[in-house]
């Protein structure tokens, strides 16, 4: 039995919404970076974040920062512009540590992320 936990959830229509976190496998604290990317996404794309409504959260991975940067440019080339590219300030690097992107059910994001692996460990 699914009991709504808030009035807002009761009013939200059911959407097959997925939030993808793309993490770097070369970072020991990759899930923390994913949390930062998700929080940044919530601030930048409030409407999409609310549509997601904490449904599916999928962790994917790329090998390192260069691969994450390459993925960022691929998303932009495919005009999938609504994503957060988080850069950890403590690393003093221009390379991102995680990407957070919303999939509204049309399959475009899932297709764009098809080369990413599942995040483990």
- pLDDT per position as a tens digit, 77-99: 999 989 999 999 888 888 899 99
- Whole-number pLDDT of residue 10: 45
Which CATH number do you get for residue 63? 3.40.1490.10
pLDDT band at 8 (very low <50, low <70, confident <90, very high): low
Q: Is 8 contained in some domain? A: no
- pLDDT per position as a tens digit, 26-79: 999 999 999 999 999 999 999 999 999 998 999 999 999 999 999 999 999 999
Domain count, the chain: 1
Q: Is 88 contained in some domain? A: yes
Q: Using a CB cutoff of 8 Å and minimum separation of 24, what contacts does 44-51 make?
A: 44/84, 45/82, 45/84, 45/102, 48/82, 48/102, 48/104, 49/102, 50/8, 50/12, 51/12, 51/15, 51/17, 51/102, 51/104
Domain that holds residue 39: 15-118
């Amino acid at each position: 039995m699914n009991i709504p936990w808030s009035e807002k959830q009761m009013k939200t229509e059911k959407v097959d919404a997925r939030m993808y976190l793309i993490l770097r496998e070369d970072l020991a604290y990759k899930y923390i970076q994913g949390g930062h990317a998700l929080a940044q996404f919530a601030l930048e794309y409030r409407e999409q974040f609310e549509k997601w409504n904490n449904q599916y959260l999928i962790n994917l991975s790329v090998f390192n920062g260069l691969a994450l940067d390459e993925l960022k440019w691929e998303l932009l080339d495919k005009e999938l512009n609504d994503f957060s590219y988080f850069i950890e300030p403590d690393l003093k690097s221009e390379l991102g540590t995680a990407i957070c992107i919303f999939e509204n059910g049309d399959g475009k994001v899932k297709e764009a992320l098809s080369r990413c692996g599942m995040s483990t460990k």
